[in-house]
Structure 1
Amino acid sequence: MKVNVGDEAPDFTAPVAGEGYGEDGSVALSDLRGSRVVLVFYPKDRTPGCTTQACALRDAWKDLPSDVRIFGVSVDDLKSHLKFIEKESLPYPLISDPERKIVESYGVWVEKSMYGKKFMGTQRSTFVIDPAGKIESVLEKVSPKKHLELLKELL
């Protein structure tokens, strides 16, 4: 079931790596209440589109509001996240969801198709969550090249 604007953001506790969390931290959405939170769901670490999207965020980091908490979210494990963060010098943490609990609760684990083959994967989507824990905005199926400009408009 897809989460929509105005809905309560599904809570979660998950492993996280990167800025402020080290190599094996944990984050709970409920602990971030009082802050605007951005969850950037992406298919896979170190793939062309995901790297384009991640590096655009990195390069514009100083231009984004400092009071917004931004997290990347994928089904990759922490080891993969750490390599991605290190290789691309990402200034924001990445949440690991290998059991797909978060991607499923936000409705972004979907059937996809590539070269005529159908498979399940993460739909590139971004959710902006207000300080009270409600979904403020949603970006769905956004091009990695257009993601940053659309996100900046929302923030």
Structure 2
Amino acid sequence: MSELRRSARVASNKRGSPADEPASHQTKKSKTTSVAPDGEKKVDKIAEAKMEDAEPETKEENAEPKMKPRSSPSESKSKELIEGDEIPDLTLQNQDGGEISLKKLAEENRIIIIFAYPKASTPGCTRQACGFRDNYEDLKEHAAVFGLSTDNPKSQKNFQTKQKLPFGLLCDPKRLLIGSLGAKKTPQAGTIRSHWIFVDGKLKSKNIKVSPEFSVEEGKKQILELAKELE
């Protein structure tokens, strides 16, 4: 009986058992059987999806919606001219309602003097305008003379007629020229009494916040000096 048990164990060992297989073979087998047949494909698909999500957005996707820029109140303000700047490319009405191009004036007159006053037919503005009137014969030989205010053509015409002013008066109700020349009293309203001289279409002299008398005297003096320099 002992012989029979021994021979049975020997036969069983010869056929081989899982315990007798090499460790390397067992490891390899466990690896292949632990992974599902389509496991690699699933992993690849997940990885690809993650890579696609990680890709940066294009410039078009990141771009802000295209909108027309709005100009702020500060941006819409006229740039204040300094000496040497070109005369503004503006067209204003005169006392008769006619259109006066500043650029054209500069082409036709080598020297231009423009004096600004707060309001037609008020005392200080009348003294200023009449001062230029009384010196007009000397001034017109060398320069074109113009008054400037925010008044409408009718008010300017009445002022011109009543005071017998021999020069044109420009209307600037929106203070486009007044603002660009730096003579706004406040951002909302008002004009600072001033005068400016342009030579060959460029700002030569800037006189802001002056008295009526000084405006006339200094304006005439500057014109006569410039005339000598340009001879």
After TM superposition, the score normalised by the length of structure 1 is: 0.85
Larger Rg over CA atoms:
2
Q: Deviations over 1:52-85 (max 9, x none)?
A: 0001111111122424111111000000001000
1:79 aligned to 2:172? Answer: no
What pairs up with 1:1-155 in 2 under 5 angstroms? 1-17=79-95, 23-34=96-107, 35=109, 36-111=111-186, 120-131=189-200, 133-155=201-223
Gaps of 5+ in 2: 1-78, 224-231
Contact 1:2 1:108 (C-alpha < 8 Å) held by counterparts:
no
**1:5 CA drift (Å):** 1.3
Contact 1:49 1:144 (C-alpha < 8 Å) held by counterparts:
yes
Runs of 4+ in 1 over 3 A off after TM superposition: none
Query: The residue matched to 1:109 in structure 2 has which SS?
Result: coil
Amino acid at match of 2:88: P
After TM superposition, the score normalised by the length of structure 2 is: 0.58
Higher fraction of helix: 2
Amino acid at match of 1:88: Q
Amino acid at match of 1:26: E
Gaps of 5+ in 1: 18-22, 113-118
**1:37 CA drift (Å):** 1.2
Q: Deviations over 1:12-34 (max 9, x none)?
A: 101012xxxxx221100111234
Higher fraction of strand: 1
Q: Matches of 1:138 and 1:100 in 2, distance apart? A: 17
Percent identity, aligned pairs only, is 37
Amino acid at match of 1:138: K
Query: The residue matched to 2:126 in structure 1 has which SS?
Result: helix
